[in-house]
Amino acid sequence: MKIKNNIALIGFMGAGKSSVSKLLSERLGKTLVSTDACIETREGLSIISIFKEKGEDYFRQMESRVLEDLCRQSGQIIDCGGGIVMRPPNLSLMRLNCLVIYLESRPEDLEARLKNHTNRPLYNAERLDKMLKLLESRLPLYRAAADITISTHNKSCHEVCEEIEDKLREYENTSG
């Protein structure tokens, strides 16, 4: 890719970032990395245990550190944790080093995808009001960070990737 060194996928929990990142990395022949997976490897703990044992602030520090390290490399598809947009320095790093793709999902789609998962410390099926509040507070951040926004509603991973590739071609043509 001409424009930036990496592609970062952002979006709320359950938006499908991991599945899309994996397929996109195969289709574009780029290296797949995940901020969550890097944190788990460094800490030797699952995300849920890090939240439980060390707290969210610690997790956010690790997340920023991992993003900083990943941004020193190139040719990657970076699957970002849903809260990465919450720290302004992360946004600056992404802006400089990544083409940022926001996977935008409807709350009902997120809820449907999340309800079968138990590995997300900030999601609780009994507290959907909390999830909606968090989503609402992050929406402006996702939108402001995005170079490209793709709606995931009623689309398969393949369709989302096809749309991303179309938009990447457009983006490259218009960015010279």
The binding site for ATP consists of 14-19, 120
Residue 107 and residue 132 in contact, taking contact as beta carbons nearer than 8 Å: yes
Q: How many residues bind ligand S3P (CB under 6 A)?
A: 10
Site map for ligand S3P, 113-142, x if CB under 6 A? -------xxx--------------------
Site map for ligand S3P, 65-104, x if CB under 6 A? ----------------xxx---------------------
Q: Is 7 in the site for ligand S3P (CB under 6 A)?
A: no
Binding footprint of ligand S3P on the chain (CB under 6 A): 13, 17, 36, 47, 81-83, 120-122
